[in-house]
Structure 1
């Protein structure tokens, strides 16, 4: 093989530490997100075991506060987001006919920043004080007055992980705008790519808000600033506005890609084109726009006044309209189709009624006077989990079973998959359906125990049994993955009779994705070729040399620098733990050393620019690629 520029090939661990290949980065996101999903699930299990019986003493009150803080934060930022980024990286470049993302180096940096931010936050369990102010970290509870050093882990860890998400979102925006194959107009893009495009745009506009909020909170805690300190003229309601201006769009950053997954799965396993494609696209755009207009419905109990409450009530109800369009279009896609109930389609079809329940309770909460009663009860917990678990997690599981053969070249076991589905589906509804009634009966959220004889005992027992069933489902899925990984690769390029471009290339895809850039001749590009009687996609170019980016260790090193700097900046006027913590915390030399690593990495990147390398046509032909 001849190269235009010599490139060092790595193997084993170094291959994964230096990769800039979007398909390998997808696997890194999947492994890391799966790990944090297990951590967050374990925390949830401890919460449910504590609440299984009245007046239980399974965990102490302060530990319970730490658990609910870390469970929420981990699941939203360290499990949900990276698992979506795994699917984004694995699928979007293939669906648009690209050989890689726009900025492969930045893509790798985004992963490592997320990973080290998550590690920094969770290392608090072992060498410091754990965040305990709730996943929303409201001041004054999150101030030095009421919370220990744990909140610093929350602030710095989220800041680093959020930076990774932000640059990842920008990367995918540029990729989708600039790198679509010839003929791939915006109105020919698959729905999954469309939802990633809109979610990335939301990331671009929403994440700066939480970035600013975290900086202000850090200044309050480290330097005695008074942004949120009431006694010194600050305003804690300011934090709520900043957090939810980010926080509610974040819900749609999570759920829109799940909508995209469901659209792909429903269409493929109905053997039909998605009903109402144009209306689905415009509904997605409208949801993205409206997501920035509803944040204060989280603040109906604050006292914003009747005008603000009415405006945000109406906007919240309005967002149900484009969501309803999507629900009906999925149902009409199923209507008259040749439906195959694979595991992926079981998760997709069960997503629809489950998410509708979450949507209906969302409309109930959009009514400000009603929300005033529901607000701090388990009714809100139930609603939130019906949208995020019943929506996001069902969508992620559907996507994993659907695209697993494309990512790994192996088919997951369908029988074990269906065991996973039924345990998870039944366990989910057992866990959260009864929590609606717990909330209506007055059980407040965030309490670590409750007295006997209040009518809450049975529902809490049922809820905990359901959570255990969801845990069993997750273990069965892990067994399925392990068994499958031990078998030889057996997946065809197109095991599901798919409709979009990713099914036109081998499973798993080669390093360069497409030997020849495809020519897109209509919506559902692969299906168009199948209907025309073509066995392969029509190429848009002759077979020629393919330019690929070089691997680099710098994204990993730069993220380690941020990780070290994060430790150094977490100084607060509290008693330190012994040992390593006493050296690292508040030691600004450590902070400066970390930032030096970051700056040196940036300098090296600019000086030793990536020239990449070429894969020549001869090598492609040796691998069996025909012009």
Structure 2
């Protein structure tokens, strides 16, 4: 791999760089900006829903905000995964950079205009389809629909190229002695996630491209009058979009498994099972897309196989939960801010897991489909599987970016404001859903008695927004005046904390190292994970 020298300083974060750490930060900043925008869209339409009757939004703009909230946050999560994986994977496996640095930079700089194109849909008529863009409605939608398709298409291209790079890096550039089963769990999670992104993203790109061709050239892929089938779009769309859920949550579950032993001071229970469960989730995730279509009119004989495959996902996911609980059992638990977000992630993701089977079982899904119950379940899954672990990762690895620690007091305020507010919001969403509240509608009958519940959900949403604002204030303040991070501040066994200063230097490790032990043998006397390559290898 070629050696790349770059000028140090903040300007390199605003320009073309081949350093994986710079690219990781660039992905992260773009992801957080989109996170803030997507969350702001939700707060706007939540004000509209806080009471019955149309308040200040038109129906078209409400529908556009609903769709933009969903897709902008999905793109934010994809970019957030790229940020964590780009920054951390080479550090965790002992590589000097990614396998293809130029392709890595290209992948990021595709995402920038793609994201701008997606956001431009707001200004060219919007769209009224929601984030799923089902035809025939998406064929008749305004020009904003076209910008939506193009933006998502090119973000998907970025995701595919990034996944190819990550898989090659993990397979080819591990440090000496780092066999697959001595590899950090986050690297396993990244590998499984990248396999999904590499093999499934083409399907959403294809489905959106076919709708674009139908809009532009009058082709009839999904128009029954021209011999097309609108159900075909749903099969293509959900074949990617359900595995995409695991693109969102697998990295977060990897962060949980990575950080938990550090703050419990115990080995990760069932390391090999946890590692293989990521691949198991990725594999089974390709077999469950039909549970989104129980009410769509697809062939009825497909319902039962998809129901059982959906429930089967609980097996590899349950392995992770049992590992976390067993790791916590009788551990010497410390609760700095990263650990608080890890514990919050476990609780919230459990709520998402427990609310999932009613959506996967045919009998209950026929009643709950397209209600706010699904909205509550999905937010539990995304926050527990991605948002909470993302914040844990930022609080934990921020010194490797900046050389400074985030403020602990503001971090705790962020956590304790966001967590109960989020639980109130999602339980409220699931309750109104079970009472019959449909999703993606701008108004509801006051006789249904949902006004109070929607007001509470809206207030909770604004408190979540306030907590994230506190996080951004913490981030900006700590970049300039945060406590200087010296040494291995978390007493981690991981090589980036054992062998590197904060912030991490260009080309990472000035001296190669070898892996001589297990990654999570915390609390075991005399155990080592890494040592400089020039020294004699320790006992395996």
**2:121 and 2:143 in contact (8 A); partners too:** no
> In 2, distance between residues paired with 1:95 and 1:6?
20
> In 2, distance between residues paired with 1:8 and 1:490?
24
Q: CA deviation at 1:304?
A: 2.6
Q: Taking structure 1 as reference, are residues 131 and 112 closer, same or farther at Cα in structure 2, changes over 3 Å only?
A: farther
The residue number in structure 1 matching 2:125 is 129
Q: CA deviation at 1:525?
A: 7.6
**1:190 and 1:523 in contact (8 A); partners too:** no
> In 2, distance between residues paired with 1:279 and 1:229?
46
**Pairing 1:425-464 to 2, within 5 Å after superposition:** 425-464=419-458
Q: CA deviation at 1:123?
A: 2.2
The residue number in structure 1 matching 2:99 is 102
Q: CA deviation at 1:121?
A: 1.0
The structure, 1 or 2, with the larger RCO (C-alpha pairs under 8 Å, 6+ apart) is 1
Q: Taking structure 1 as reference, are residues 399 and 317 closer, same or farther at Cα in structure 2, changes over 3 Å only?
A: same
> In 2, distance between residues paired with 1:285 and 1:6?
34
Q: CA deviation at 1:8?
A: 7.4
Q: Taking structure 1 as reference, are residues 76 and 323 closer, same or farther at Cα in structure 2, changes over 3 Å only?
A: same
> In 1, distance between residues paired with 2:393 and 2:245?
18
Q: TM-score, normalised by structure 1?
A: 0.82
Match of 1:16 among 14, 17, 22: 14
**2:345 and 2:385 in contact (8 A); partners too:** yes
The residue number in structure 2 matching 1:43 is 41
Match of 2:81 among 78, 84, 88: 84
- 1:109-152 deviations in whole A, cap 9, x for unaligned? 111111210011112334x2223311010001100xx3111110
**1:118 and 1:161 in contact (8 A); partners too:** yes
- 1:241-270 deviations in whole A, cap 9, x for unaligned? 000000011000110000000011111100
Q: TM-score, normalised by structure 2?
A: 0.95
- 1:520 and 2:525 aligned: no
> In 2, distance between residues paired with 1:105 and 1:200?
18
The residue number in structure 2 matching 1:291 is 285
> In 1, distance between residues paired with 2:509 and 2:450?
58
Q: Taking structure 1 as reference, are residues 445 and 8 closer, same or farther at Cα in structure 2, changes over 3 Å only?
A: closer
- 1:70 and 2:68 aligned: yes
> In 1, distance between residues paired with 2:319 and 2:13?
45
> In 1, distance between residues paired with 2:178 and 2:439?
48
Q: CA deviation at 1:539?
A: 2.0
> In 1, distance between residues paired with 2:246 and 2:320?
14
Q: CA deviation at 1:452?
A: 1.1
**1:213 and 1:243 in contact (8 A); partners too:** yes
Q: Taking structure 1 as reference, are residues 260 and 7 closer, same or farther at Cα in structure 2, changes over 3 Å only?
A: closer
The residue number in structure 2 matching 1:203 is 197
Instruction: Structure 2: give runs of 5+ residues left out of the alignment.
Output: 536-540
Instruction: Structure 1: give runs of 5+ residues left out of the alignment.
Output: 543-627
**Pairing 1:326-365 to 2, within 5 Å after superposition:** 326-365=320-359
> In 2, distance between residues paired with 1:359 and 1:488?
37
Q: CA deviation at 1:334?
A: 0.8
Q: CA deviation at 1:6?
A: 10
Q: CA deviation at 1:353?
A: 2.1
Q: CA deviation at 1:502?
A: 1.6
> In 1, distance between residues paired with 2:98 and 2:534?
19
The residue number in structure 2 matching 1:119 is 116
Query: How many residues in Structure 1 have an aligned counterpart in Structure 2?
Result: 533
Q: List 4+ stretches of structure 1 deviating above 3 A.
A: 4-16, 525-528, 530-534
Q: CA deviation at 1:537?
A: 4.6
SS at match of 1:142: helix
**1:32 and 1:82 in contact (8 A); partners too:** yes
Q: Taking structure 1 as reference, are residues 307 and 480 closer, same or farther at Cα in structure 2, changes over 3 Å only?
A: same
The residue number in structure 1 matching 2:538 is none
The residue number in structure 1 matching 2:137 is 141
**2:268 and 2:520 in contact (8 A); partners too:** no
- 1:193-244 deviations in whole A, cap 9, x for unaligned? 1000110011111111112112211111111111111221111111100000
**2:13 and 2:25 in contact (8 A); partners too:** no
Match of 1:538 among 531, 535, 538: 531
SS at match of 1:538: strand
Match of 1:58 among 43, 56, 65: 56
Q: CA deviation at 1:296?
A: 0.4
The residue number in structure 2 matching 1:27 is 25
